[in-house]
Amino acid sequence: MDKHDSTQRAQHRQEVARVLAGFTPADIAAWDQAENLPTDVPAALAQAGLLGSFIDTGHGGRGWDALSFGLLCAEFGQASLSLLSIVTVHSMVMEAIRLSGTGQQRADWLPVLARGEKLGAFALTEPDYGSEATGIQTTLVECEGGYRVSGRKKWISYAARADVLLVFGKLEDGRAVACLMPADAEGLSITPMKGLLGFRAAMLGEINMQDCFIPSANLIGGIGAGINYVAAGALDLGRLAIAFGSLGAMEACVTDSVIYANKRQQFGQALSKHQLIQQMLADMMTAYKAAERLCWHAAELRSAGSPMATMETATAKYFTSTHAVTVANQAVQIHGAAGCSAGESRTERFYRDLKITEIIEGSNQMQQVMIAQNGMGEFVQSARRRQRLLAEN
Protein backbone atom coordinates (compact mmCIF):
# COMPACT_ATOMS: atom_id res chain seq x y z
CA MET A 1 0.00 0.00 0.00
CA ASP A 2 1.15 3.56 -0.71
CA LYS A 3 1.97 4.88 2.74
CA HIS A 4 0.84 8.36 1.79
CA ASP A 5 -2.49 7.48 0.22
CA SER A 6 -4.89 9.57 2.26
CA THR A 7 -7.96 8.29 0.34
CA GLN A 8 -7.14 4.72 1.28
CA ARG A 9 -6.53 5.80 4.86
CA ALA A 10 -9.91 7.53 5.01
CA GLN A 11 -11.50 4.33 3.68
CA HIS A 12 -9.77 2.31 6.40
CA ARG A 13 -11.04 4.70 9.05
CA GLN A 14 -14.57 4.52 7.67
CA GLU A 15 -14.39 0.73 7.61
CA VAL A 16 -13.37 0.65 11.29
CA ALA A 17 -16.06 3.18 12.25
CA ARG A 18 -18.71 1.06 10.48
CA VAL A 19 -17.68 -2.11 12.32
CA LEU A 20 -17.65 -0.32 15.68
CA ALA A 21 -21.03 1.27 14.98
CA GLY A 22 -22.36 -2.30 15.27
CA PHE A 23 -21.89 -1.92 19.05
CA THR A 24 -24.49 0.46 20.46
CA PRO A 25 -23.70 2.97 23.25
CA ALA A 26 -25.99 0.86 25.46
CA ASP A 27 -23.91 -2.28 24.69
CA ILE A 28 -20.68 -0.47 25.54
CA ALA A 29 -22.09 0.96 28.79
CA ALA A 30 -23.35 -2.52 29.73
CA TRP A 31 -19.88 -4.10 29.25
CA ASP A 32 -18.45 -1.43 31.51
CA GLN A 33 -21.05 -1.98 34.20
CA ALA A 34 -20.76 -5.76 34.04
CA GLU A 35 -16.92 -5.54 33.88
CA ASN A 36 -17.14 -8.11 31.15
CA LEU A 37 -16.68 -8.19 27.40
CA PRO A 38 -18.93 -10.73 25.64
CA THR A 39 -16.85 -13.31 23.76
CA ASP A 40 -18.57 -12.53 20.47
CA VAL A 41 -17.08 -9.00 20.49
CA PRO A 42 -13.43 -9.92 19.86
CA ALA A 43 -14.69 -12.59 17.45
CA ALA A 44 -16.54 -9.88 15.47
CA LEU A 45 -13.41 -7.69 15.42
CA ALA A 46 -11.35 -10.63 14.18
CA GLN A 47 -13.96 -11.47 11.55
CA ALA A 48 -13.83 -7.87 10.32
CA GLY A 49 -10.03 -8.09 10.01
CA LEU A 50 -9.36 -5.38 12.59
CA LEU A 51 -7.02 -7.29 14.89
CA GLY A 52 -3.99 -7.54 12.60
CA SER A 53 -4.26 -4.38 10.53
CA PHE A 54 -0.58 -3.38 10.71
CA ILE A 55 0.80 -6.87 10.01
CA ASP A 56 1.87 -7.45 6.41
CA THR A 57 -0.48 -9.35 4.13
CA GLY A 58 2.06 -12.17 3.75
CA HIS A 59 1.59 -12.91 7.46
CA GLY A 60 -2.20 -12.70 7.45
CA GLY A 61 -2.57 -8.98 8.20
CA ARG A 62 -3.84 -6.00 6.22
CA GLY A 63 -0.53 -4.17 5.66
CA TRP A 64 -1.83 -0.83 6.99
CA ASP A 65 0.75 1.84 7.78
CA ALA A 66 1.28 3.41 11.22
CA LEU A 67 -1.16 6.27 10.58
CA SER A 68 -3.95 3.94 9.47
CA PHE A 69 -3.27 1.84 12.59
CA GLY A 70 -3.35 5.03 14.67
CA LEU A 71 -6.66 6.09 13.16
CA LEU A 72 -8.06 2.63 13.87
CA CYS A 73 -7.03 3.14 17.51
CA ALA A 74 -8.66 6.60 17.52
CA GLU A 75 -11.93 5.03 16.36
CA PHE A 76 -11.68 2.37 19.08
CA GLY A 77 -10.91 5.09 21.64
CA GLN A 78 -14.03 7.03 20.58
CA ALA A 79 -16.10 3.90 21.15
CA SER A 80 -14.52 2.36 24.25
CA LEU A 81 -11.05 2.41 25.77
CA SER A 82 -11.66 -1.09 27.17
CA LEU A 83 -12.13 -2.28 23.62
CA LEU A 84 -9.03 -0.36 22.51
CA SER A 85 -6.96 -2.11 25.17
CA ILE A 86 -7.61 -5.47 23.54
CA VAL A 87 -6.30 -4.15 20.23
CA THR A 88 -3.35 -2.60 22.07
CA VAL A 89 -2.11 -5.64 23.95
CA HIS A 90 -2.83 -8.07 21.12
CA SER A 91 -0.90 -5.76 18.75
CA MET A 92 1.98 -5.52 21.22
CA VAL A 93 2.33 -9.30 21.24
CA MET A 94 2.37 -9.36 17.42
CA GLU A 95 4.82 -6.45 17.31
CA ALA A 96 7.22 -8.30 19.62
CA ILE A 97 7.13 -11.34 17.32
CA ARG A 98 7.40 -9.14 14.20
CA LEU A 99 10.44 -7.26 15.52
CA SER A 100 12.22 -9.93 17.56
CA GLY A 101 10.96 -13.32 16.36
CA THR A 102 12.79 -15.61 13.95
CA GLY A 103 11.40 -16.18 10.46
CA GLN A 104 9.94 -19.46 11.68
CA GLN A 105 8.29 -17.82 14.71
CA ARG A 106 6.80 -15.11 12.52
CA ALA A 107 5.45 -17.78 10.16
CA ASP A 108 4.10 -19.89 13.02
CA TRP A 109 2.47 -17.16 15.13
CA LEU A 110 1.69 -14.02 13.14
CA PRO A 111 -1.01 -15.40 10.79
CA VAL A 112 -3.09 -16.95 13.59
CA LEU A 113 -2.75 -13.80 15.70
CA ALA A 114 -3.33 -11.35 12.83
CA ARG A 115 -6.50 -13.18 11.83
CA GLY A 116 -7.60 -13.22 15.47
CA GLU A 117 -7.77 -17.02 15.62
CA LYS A 118 -5.70 -16.72 18.78
CA LEU A 119 -5.64 -13.66 21.03
CA GLY A 120 -2.60 -12.43 22.89
CA ALA A 121 -1.89 -10.61 26.16
CA PHE A 122 1.27 -8.80 27.24
CA ALA A 123 2.45 -9.92 30.69
CA LEU A 124 5.21 -7.70 32.04
CA THR A 125 3.96 -6.08 35.28
CA GLU A 126 4.29 -7.94 38.58
CA PRO A 127 2.88 -7.17 42.03
CA ASP A 128 6.24 -5.65 43.13
CA TYR A 129 7.56 -4.31 39.81
CA GLY A 130 5.74 -1.91 37.49
CA SER A 131 7.73 1.08 36.22
CA GLU A 132 10.95 -0.65 37.27
CA ALA A 133 10.46 -3.43 34.72
CA THR A 134 14.09 -4.61 34.95
CA GLY A 135 13.35 -5.75 38.51
CA ILE A 136 10.84 -8.47 37.55
CA GLN A 137 11.11 -11.70 39.52
CA THR A 138 9.54 -14.27 37.16
CA THR A 139 12.15 -16.97 36.57
CA LEU A 140 12.87 -19.34 33.71
CA VAL A 141 14.86 -22.42 34.64
CA GLU A 142 16.34 -24.40 31.75
CA CYS A 143 15.17 -28.01 31.45
CA GLU A 144 15.16 -30.66 28.75
CA GLY A 145 13.74 -29.13 25.56
CA GLY A 146 12.88 -25.78 27.10
CA TYR A 147 12.26 -23.87 30.30
CA ARG A 148 10.14 -24.04 33.46
CA VAL A 149 8.58 -20.67 34.19
CA SER A 150 7.46 -19.55 37.67
CA GLY A 151 6.21 -16.20 38.89
CA ARG A 152 3.27 -13.81 39.20
CA LYS A 153 1.97 -11.17 36.83
CA LYS A 154 -0.67 -8.61 37.79
CA TRP A 155 -2.93 -6.07 36.03
CA ILE A 156 -2.60 -7.89 32.71
CA SER A 157 -5.20 -6.67 30.21
CA TYR A 158 -7.18 -9.38 28.50
CA ALA A 159 -5.37 -12.09 30.53
CA ALA A 160 -8.74 -13.45 31.54
CA ARG A 161 -9.49 -14.31 27.89
CA ALA A 162 -6.25 -14.52 25.93
CA ASP A 163 -5.05 -17.75 24.32
CA VAL A 164 -1.38 -16.89 24.54
CA LEU A 165 0.61 -14.67 26.91
CA LEU A 166 3.87 -12.92 26.12
CA VAL A 167 5.59 -13.42 29.47
CA PHE A 168 8.71 -11.57 30.55
CA GLY A 169 11.10 -13.11 33.06
CA LYS A 170 14.72 -13.78 33.86
CA LEU A 171 17.03 -16.76 33.55
CA GLU A 172 18.85 -17.92 36.68
CA ASP A 173 21.83 -15.71 35.80
CA GLY A 174 19.56 -12.64 35.73
CA ARG A 175 19.39 -12.13 31.94
CA ALA A 176 15.94 -10.98 30.83
CA VAL A 177 13.93 -12.99 28.31
CA ALA A 178 10.49 -13.00 26.71
CA CYS A 179 8.51 -16.13 25.93
CA LEU A 180 5.16 -17.15 24.51
CA MET A 181 3.12 -19.13 27.01
CA PRO A 182 -0.18 -20.81 26.14
CA ALA A 183 -2.84 -19.63 28.59
CA ASP A 184 -3.81 -23.27 29.23
CA ALA A 185 -0.28 -24.34 30.21
CA GLU A 186 -0.13 -26.79 33.09
CA GLY A 187 0.66 -24.94 36.34
CA LEU A 188 -0.80 -21.64 35.11
CA SER A 189 -3.84 -20.03 36.70
CA ILE A 190 -5.51 -16.72 35.93
CA THR A 191 -7.70 -14.83 38.39
CA PRO A 192 -9.91 -12.11 36.85
CA MET A 193 -9.49 -8.64 38.41
CA LYS A 194 -12.59 -6.58 39.18
CA GLY A 195 -13.38 -3.22 40.74
CA LEU A 196 -11.09 -1.12 38.54
CA LEU A 197 -11.45 2.64 38.15
CA GLY A 198 -11.47 2.35 34.37
CA PHE A 199 -10.87 -0.14 31.53
CA ARG A 200 -13.46 -2.17 33.38
CA ALA A 201 -14.28 -4.38 30.38
CA ALA A 202 -10.63 -5.01 29.51
CA MET A 203 -10.74 -8.43 31.19
CA LEU A 204 -7.73 -7.81 33.42
CA GLY A 205 -6.25 -10.77 35.20
CA GLU A 206 -3.61 -11.82 37.68
CA ILE A 207 -1.46 -14.69 36.48
CA ASN A 208 0.19 -17.30 38.65
CA MET A 209 2.76 -19.61 37.03
CA GLN A 210 4.28 -22.57 38.79
CA ASP A 211 6.86 -24.58 36.83
CA CYS A 212 5.01 -24.01 33.55
CA PHE A 213 6.85 -25.62 30.66
CA ILE A 214 7.60 -23.76 27.44
CA PRO A 215 9.68 -25.21 24.59
CA SER A 216 12.87 -23.33 23.62
CA ALA A 217 11.15 -22.43 20.34
CA ASN A 218 8.82 -20.14 22.34
CA LEU A 219 11.60 -17.78 23.45
CA ILE A 220 11.14 -14.50 21.57
CA GLY A 221 14.26 -12.42 20.97
CA GLY A 222 17.76 -13.00 22.20
CA ILE A 223 18.70 -14.00 25.72
CA GLY A 224 19.23 -10.76 27.66
CA ALA A 225 17.05 -8.75 25.24
CA GLY A 226 13.73 -9.41 26.99
CA ILE A 227 13.15 -5.98 28.53
CA ASN A 228 15.38 -3.54 26.66
CA TYR A 229 14.55 -4.77 23.19
CA VAL A 230 11.49 -7.07 23.06
CA ALA A 231 9.35 -5.26 25.67
CA ALA A 232 10.64 -1.82 24.61
CA GLY A 233 9.73 -2.41 20.94
CA ALA A 234 6.26 -3.63 21.84
CA LEU A 235 5.67 -0.74 24.26
CA ASP A 236 6.63 1.73 21.54
CA LEU A 237 3.68 0.48 19.46
CA GLY A 238 1.51 0.32 22.59
CA ARG A 239 2.20 4.02 23.24
CA LEU A 240 1.15 4.91 19.70
CA ALA A 241 -2.10 2.99 20.27
CA ILE A 242 -2.75 4.75 23.59
CA ALA A 243 -1.89 8.18 22.16
CA PHE A 244 -4.38 7.75 19.30
CA GLY A 245 -6.93 6.00 21.52
CA SER A 246 -6.87 8.92 23.99
CA LEU A 247 -7.19 11.26 21.04
CA GLY A 248 -10.33 9.45 19.91
CA ALA A 249 -11.81 9.54 23.42
CA MET A 250 -10.90 13.24 23.62
CA GLU A 251 -12.75 13.90 20.36
CA ALA A 252 -15.82 12.13 21.74
CA CYS A 253 -15.67 14.29 24.90
CA VAL A 254 -15.45 17.52 22.87
CA THR A 255 -18.24 16.49 20.50
CA ASP A 256 -20.57 15.35 23.29
CA SER A 257 -19.90 18.60 25.17
CA VAL A 258 -20.68 20.79 22.16
CA ILE A 259 -23.93 18.92 21.49
CA TYR A 260 -24.96 19.04 25.14
CA ALA A 261 -23.99 22.71 25.58
CA ASN A 262 -26.11 23.64 22.56
CA LYS A 263 -29.10 21.68 23.80
CA ARG A 264 -29.13 22.36 27.55
CA GLN A 265 -30.77 25.66 28.55
CA GLN A 266 -29.95 27.47 31.79
CA PHE A 267 -30.69 31.12 32.69
CA GLY A 268 -32.80 31.47 29.55
CA GLN A 269 -30.19 30.42 27.01
CA ALA A 270 -28.13 27.47 25.83
CA LEU A 271 -25.09 26.64 27.96
CA SER A 272 -22.97 27.25 24.85
CA LYS A 273 -23.93 30.94 24.96
CA HIS A 274 -22.33 31.37 28.40
CA GLN A 275 -18.78 32.61 28.01
CA LEU A 276 -17.34 30.48 30.84
CA ILE A 277 -18.64 27.40 29.02
CA GLN A 278 -17.14 28.71 25.76
CA GLN A 279 -13.83 29.13 27.56
CA MET A 280 -13.87 25.44 28.52
CA LEU A 281 -14.87 24.42 25.00
CA ALA A 282 -12.07 26.55 23.52
CA ASP A 283 -9.48 24.92 25.79
CA MET A 284 -10.81 21.45 24.97
CA MET A 285 -10.72 22.10 21.22
CA THR A 286 -7.22 23.59 21.38
CA ALA A 287 -5.89 20.64 23.39
CA TYR A 288 -7.48 18.24 20.89
CA LYS A 289 -5.92 19.97 17.87
CA ALA A 290 -2.46 20.12 19.45
CA ALA A 291 -2.66 16.44 20.46
CA GLU A 292 -3.84 15.46 16.99
CA ARG A 293 -0.76 17.09 15.42
CA LEU A 294 1.59 15.25 17.80
CA CYS A 295 -0.09 11.88 17.17
CA TRP A 296 -0.02 12.27 13.40
CA HIS A 297 3.60 13.44 13.50
CA ALA A 298 4.64 10.39 15.55
CA ALA A 299 2.81 8.00 13.20
CA GLU A 300 4.31 9.59 10.08
CA LEU A 301 7.83 9.35 11.55
CA ARG A 302 7.16 5.70 12.36
CA SER A 303 6.01 4.98 8.80
CA ALA A 304 9.12 6.72 7.48
CA GLY A 305 11.34 4.57 9.72
CA SER A 306 12.73 7.69 11.42
CA PRO A 307 14.97 7.19 14.49
CA MET A 308 12.99 10.05 16.09
CA ALA A 309 9.74 8.05 16.01
CA THR A 310 10.10 6.47 19.46
CA MET A 311 10.67 9.77 21.26
CA GLU A 312 7.93 11.55 19.34
CA THR A 313 5.57 8.68 20.19
CA ALA A 314 6.42 9.04 23.90
CA THR A 315 5.77 12.79 23.58
CA ALA A 316 2.44 12.18 21.82
CA LYS A 317 1.39 9.62 24.44
CA TYR A 318 2.38 11.90 27.32
CA PHE A 319 0.72 15.02 25.90
CA THR A 320 -2.43 13.37 24.61
CA SER A 321 -3.22 11.29 27.68
CA THR A 322 -2.53 14.19 30.06
CA HIS A 323 -4.71 16.61 28.12
CA ALA A 324 -7.37 13.98 27.49
CA VAL A 325 -7.88 13.66 31.25
CA THR A 326 -8.30 17.45 31.51
CA VAL A 327 -10.69 17.46 28.56
CA ALA A 328 -12.76 14.63 30.06
CA ASN A 329 -12.86 16.53 33.35
CA GLN A 330 -14.19 19.61 31.51
CA ALA A 331 -16.69 17.45 29.61
CA VAL A 332 -18.08 16.14 32.91
CA GLN A 333 -18.22 19.74 34.20
CA ILE A 334 -20.19 20.92 31.15
CA HIS A 335 -22.61 18.01 31.51
CA GLY A 336 -23.14 18.72 35.23
CA ALA A 337 -25.01 15.91 36.99
CA ALA A 338 -25.69 14.26 33.63
CA GLY A 339 -21.90 13.94 33.27
CA CYS A 340 -21.74 11.97 36.51
CA SER A 341 -24.29 9.36 35.51
CA ALA A 342 -23.67 6.41 33.17
CA GLY A 343 -27.34 6.41 32.18
CA GLU A 344 -27.23 10.05 31.00
CA SER A 345 -23.90 10.42 29.19
CA ARG A 346 -20.67 8.57 28.45
CA THR A 347 -18.43 11.31 29.82
CA GLU A 348 -18.14 9.67 33.25
CA ARG A 349 -16.76 6.53 31.58
CA PHE A 350 -14.28 8.51 29.49
CA TYR A 351 -13.16 10.41 32.61
CA ARG A 352 -12.46 7.14 34.48
CA ASP A 353 -10.92 5.36 31.49
CA LEU A 354 -8.70 8.24 30.45
CA LYS A 355 -7.08 8.43 33.88
CA ILE A 356 -5.76 4.92 33.20
CA THR A 357 -4.04 6.10 30.00
CA GLU A 358 -1.70 8.22 32.16
CA ILE A 359 -0.51 5.05 33.92
CA ILE A 360 -0.28 2.32 31.27
CA GLU A 361 2.34 1.61 28.56
CA GLY A 362 4.87 3.38 30.79
CA SER A 363 3.44 5.91 33.23
CA ASN A 364 3.54 9.56 32.25
CA GLN A 365 6.33 10.16 34.77
CA MET A 366 8.39 7.56 32.87
CA GLN A 367 7.56 9.34 29.60
CA GLN A 368 8.65 12.66 31.13
CA VAL A 369 11.98 11.14 32.19
CA MET A 370 12.53 9.79 28.64
CA ILE A 371 11.49 13.06 27.00
CA ALA A 372 13.71 15.16 29.27
CA GLN A 373 16.77 12.91 28.99
CA ASN A 374 16.53 12.69 25.22
CA GLY A 375 15.43 16.31 24.75
CA MET A 376 18.39 17.72 26.65
CA GLY A 377 20.78 16.36 24.02
CA GLU A 378 18.48 17.43 21.19
CA PHE A 379 18.17 21.02 22.42
CA VAL A 380 21.89 21.38 23.20
CA GLN A 381 22.73 20.15 19.67
CA SER A 382 20.25 22.55 18.16
CA ALA A 383 21.76 25.47 20.14
CA ARG A 384 25.25 24.49 18.93
CA ARG A 385 24.03 24.37 15.31
CA ARG A 386 22.56 27.82 15.73
CA GLN A 387 25.81 29.17 17.18
CA ARG A 388 27.77 27.70 14.26
CA LEU A 389 25.40 29.29 11.75
CA LEU A 390 25.66 32.69 13.44
CA ALA A 391 29.47 32.38 13.50
CA GLU A 392 29.56 31.58 9.76
CA ASN A 393 27.57 34.69 8.77
Ligand X SMILES: Cc1cc2nc3c(=O)[nH]c(=O)nc-3n(C[C@H](O)[C@H](O)[C@H](O)COP(=O)(O)OP(=O)(O)OC[C@H]3O[C@@H](n4cnc5c(N)ncnc54)[C@H](O)[C@@H]3O)c2cc1C
DSSP letter assigned to residue 230 = I
Q: Which one of residues 123, 188, 324, 325 is an interface residue with ligand X (CB under 6 A)? A: 123
Q: Which one of residues 20, 50, 84, 89 is an interface residue with ligand X (CB under 6 A)? A: 89
Q: Give the shortest CB-107-to-ligand X separation in angstroms.
A: 26
Q: Give the shortest CB-6-to-ligand X separation in angstroms.
A: 32
33 binds ligand X (CB under 6 A): no
Alpha-carbon distance of 32 to 86, in angstroms, equals 14
SS3 for 49?
Answer: coil
Residue 146 CB neighbours (<10 A):
16
Closer to ligand X by CB, 238 or 280: give it.
238
Closer to ligand X by CB, 271 or 311: give it.
311
- How many residues are listed for the chain in this entry? 393
245 binds ligand X (CB under 6 A): no
Q: Which residue is nearest to ligand X (CB)?
A: 130
356 binds ligand X (CB under 6 A): yes
> Quick check: is 142 catalytic?
no
- HSE on the CB side for 127, CA within 13 Å? 6
Helix (H) or strand (E) holding 209: strand 205-215
Closer to ligand X by CB, 201 or 250: give it.
201
Backbone angles phi, psi at 169, to 5 degrees: -155, -165
Burial 357-379 (b: 16+ CB within 10 A, else e): bbbbbbebebbeebbeeeeeeee
Only segment of 67-75, 196-204, 255-263, 338-346 that touches ligand X (CB under 6 A): 196-204
Q: Which one of residues 131, 189, 210, 279 is an interface residue with ligand X (CB under 6 A)? A: 131
State the binding string over 274-313 for ligand X (x if CB under 6 A, else -).
----------------------------------------
Whether 201 and 213 have beta carbons less than 8 Å apart is answered as no
- Binding-site size, ligand X (CB under 6 A): 20
Q: Which residues pair with 141 in a beta bridge?
A: 148
Alpha-carbon distance of 61 to 144, in angstroms, equals 35
Q: Which residues are within 8 A (CB) of 76 and not within 5 positions of it... i.e. 6 or more apart? A: 16, 20, 83, 84, 87, 245, 248
Whether 135 and 369 have beta carbons less than 8 Å apart is answered as no
State the binding string over 137-176 for ligand X (x if CB under 6 A, else -).
------------------xxx-------------------
Closer to ligand X by CB, 291 or 366: give it.
366
Catalytic position from the list 95, 361, 378, 392: 361
Only segment of 21-29, 36-44, 198-206, 255-263 that touches ligand X (CB under 6 A): 198-206
Backbone angles phi, psi at 327, to 5 degrees: -65, -40
Backbone angles phi, psi at 274, to 5 degrees: -80, 130
Q: Which one of residues 265, 279, 365, 387 is an interface residue with ligand X (CB under 6 A)? A: 365
- Bridge-based pairing state of the strands 205-215 and 146-156: antiparallel
Interacting residue ranges for ligand X, rule: CB under 6 A: 89, 122-125, 130-131, 155-157, 196, 199, 202, 204, 356, 359-360, 363, 365-366
Q: What residues are annotated to the active site?
A: 361
